[in-house]
Amino acid sequence: MNLDNLLFASVDLPMFDKQEATTEIFKIANKSFWDTYRLTTMVSLMTKTGDQHASNYLPGDFKWAEYAPAILVDWFESVGFPWLGMKTRVMALITEPNFANAEHIDCKLHEINTRQHKFRIVLQGSTDKLYFKTKQGNIHAPNIETPFLMDGGWAHGMNNNSLEKKVTLALGAPWNGLADYGNEVNLLMNRNDYQMPEDLKSYL
């Protein structure tokens, strides 16, 4: 199934214990840094150099941080990466209660309208805090429990208007999606149903 028109889709994969994973992420919160582009706290779990700011396109292999929780390492090695078809950077995003991430685009300007799929798992919180910017206004994602794919080339934001921290696992470039997906992917939001905002540079 070709989904180049994907804006948001659920991914039905066998899951780990999200509550346990969240607890493990909070234990390593001292390894975090503040991301000024997205306005959120991040913990690097898999990178190429151990430096959270290093390019994803450096030579060499992606490697787990020594503090990466075993529950996540085991799942990605046995389920996540085989499904994605490759390894890529893995980040944990922690957003404080009643705090909004910056509206942004997760690719370069010339990459917009190309396949820029991102893989996400919300460990704590709800997926419907995510919204996409459109000419019709902000369009919120549905609330689902499974991992999901989203178009990182579409301007989006997230408002954690809840009383608990939101924790999300985020994977993306150099992985940018698959040419075809199986029936475990369910398209929930179609790019063709919406119009992008005009001033895309303002989200970079």
Residue type, 139: I
Give residue 52's pLDDT band: very low, low, confident or very high (50, 70, 90).
low
Tens-digit pLDDT profile for residues 3-34: 999 999 999 999 999 999 999 999 999 999 99
Tens-digit pLDDT profile for residues 101-139: 999 999 999 999 999 999 999 999 999 999 999 999 999
Give residue 1's pLDDT band: very low, low, confident or very high (50, 70, 90).
confident
Mean pLDDT of 155-183: 96
Mean pLDDT of 34-60: 83
Mean pLDDT of 167-178: 96
Tens-digit pLDDT profile for residues 63-98: 999 999 999 999 999 999 999 999 999 999 999 999
Mean pLDDT of 140-167: 97
Mention the CATH class of domain 6-51+61-197: mainly beta
Alpha carbon 34 to chain centroid distance? 16
For the chain, domain boundaries: 6-51+61-197
C-alpha pair distances (Å), 99 with each of 105, 158, 160, 162:
19, 9, 5, 9
Give residue 53's pLDDT band: very low, low, confident or very high (50, 70, 90).
low
Encode burial over 50-73: b for 16+ CB neighbours within 10 A, e otherwise. Answer: eebeeeeeeeeebebbeebbebbb
Mean pLDDT of 131-150: 97
Burial of 192 (0-12, 13-18, 19+ CB in 10 A): exposed
On the question of pLDDT at 50 being above 80, the answer is no
- At 161 the pLDDT is 96
Give pairs for 111-115: CB < 8 Å, separation 24+.
111/153, 112/153, 112/154, 112/196, 112/200, 113/153, 114/153, 114/176, 115/4, 115/176, 115/177
